[in-house]
Amino acid sequence: MGCRVLDLRRLRLLRELALRGTLAKVADALHQSPSSVSQQLTQLEREVGVPLLMKAGRGVRLTPQAEILVRHTEDLLDGLERAEGEVAASLANPAGSIHVAVFQSAALGLLPSALGFLRAEHPQLRVRVVQREPETALAETWARDFDLVVAEEYPHHAAPRHSGLDRVPLTTDTLWLAVSATADEHQAITRIEDAASLPWVMEPIGAASRHFAEQTCRRAGFEPDVRFETADLQAHLQLVQSGHAVALLPDILWKGLPAPARLCALPGDPQRSIFTSARLSSASSPGVASCRRALAHAAQAPRLNP
């Protein structure tokens, strides 16, 4: 290798391949063509002077030498991110862009207030927000697709942990059985067992909330009749309010407003934990720190009793 200086952009492509597994996925994530990605990795092999990729079926896998480079690329990217954070911290006001992933109910309950706080306090900070399920968002933040993620953790359902990500508690969220305030057949419901014969709306199978809801029903002695399945919690509320279904819902959905349905307490008064995660190398950057302060400000706003 001599004294050659390796191209960091090509090293990052190699790291992306290690993370995503195929050239097509790397190309899609970075908005390039697979042939362009392949050509740049071939050029990196020439610069390094050793093979970096081996055929594996219809795809490729990294050689041991490539894995060494990926490990050092992680260190280089972390160092650059810390340097960028220090430069940003030397400025009077946070500026630039920050990319945030957030799940739906936090977007509904926290995001408007948090963005208002940032607009007033840090008008030069550009915030880009994408809705993502926490499991996916945590992995994508670790992979550097996002700078900050707002994630959730249901009782007895731990969220994934990734080395290199921190975890800062944001707030807790009470979970309720929500029923129609007007439907006649819902008037006698005071506990979850009373809803055993009613239609339910839940999030799709695989979601942490779905697992929690099903387990809560089963512990109450019945299998829920899930007639409606959607990830849209506003649709959950509409179905509950109209008397077509019952649901287990977090009270962040109506934060600061009167509850839009009749709420019944669940056994043990379960709570969902909401937290933020960022890479350790960027957690102290002004953009991430400012977003966390804004979210904490939104989370501390008073909630009305149901």
Q: Round to whole Å and give the CA distance between 143 and 107.
A: 22
Going by C-beta distance under 8 Å and a sequence separation of 6 or more, which residues neighbour residue 3?
none
Q: Round to whole Å and give the CA distance between 149 and 260.
A: 28
The rounded Cα 278 to chain-centroid distance in angstroms is: 11
pLDDT of residue 303: 55
Answer whether 148's CB lies under 8 Å from 101's CB.
yes
Residue with more model confidence, 76 or 176: 176
Query: Apex CA 156: angle with CA 136 and CA 256, to 5°?
Result: 75
Give the helix, strand, coil percentages of the chain, each rounded to 5: 45, 25, 35
Which runs of consecutive H residues, i.e. helices, occur in the chain?
8-20, 23-30, 34-48, 64-89, 104-109, 111-121, 134-142, 208-219, 233-241, 286-299
Confidence of residue 58 (pLDDT cuts 50, 70, 90): confident
Q: What is the mean pLDDT of residues 54-77?
A: 84
Does pTM top 0.85 for this prediction?
Answer: no
Q: What is the mean pLDDT of residues 32-50?
A: 86
Residue with more model confidence, 249 or 302: 249
* Residue 147 amino acid letter: D
pLDDT of residue 92: 63
Going by C-beta distance under 8 Å and a sequence separation of 6 or more, which residues neighbour residue 72?
none
pLDDT in tens, 280-297: 988 988 999 999 999 999
Specify the residue for token string 């977003």: 291
Q: What is the mean pLDDT of residues 73-100?
A: 79
Q: What is the mean pLDDT of residues 219-227?
A: 97
Residues above pLDDT 70, as percent of the chain: 95
pLDDT of residue 305: 45
Q: What is the mean pLDDT of residues 198-226?
A: 95
Residue with more model confidence, 117 or 73: 117
State the Rg of the chain over Cα: 24
pLDDT of residue 302: 63
The rounded Cα 250 to chain-centroid distance in angstroms is: 17
Confidence of residue 43 (pLDDT cuts 50, 70, 90): confident
Residue with more model confidence, 199 or 16: 199
All domains in the chain, ordered by first residue: 8-86 (1.10.10.10), 96-306 (3.40.190.290)
Specify the residue for token string 């290199």: 164
pLDDT of residue 271: 96
Answer whether 65's CB lies under 8 Å from 51's CB.
yes
Give the containing element (helix H, strand E) for 19.
Answer: helix 8-20
pLDDT in tens, 18-38: 888 888 888 888 788 888 888
pLDDT of residue 178: 96
Specify the residue for token string 């379960």: 270
Mean pLDDT of the chain: 88
Answer whether 213's CB lies under 8 Å from 233's CB.
no
Answer whether 34's CB lies under 8 Å from 40's CB.
no
Q: What is the DSSP letter of 197?
A: T
Answer whether 10's CB lies under 8 Å from 41's CB.
yes
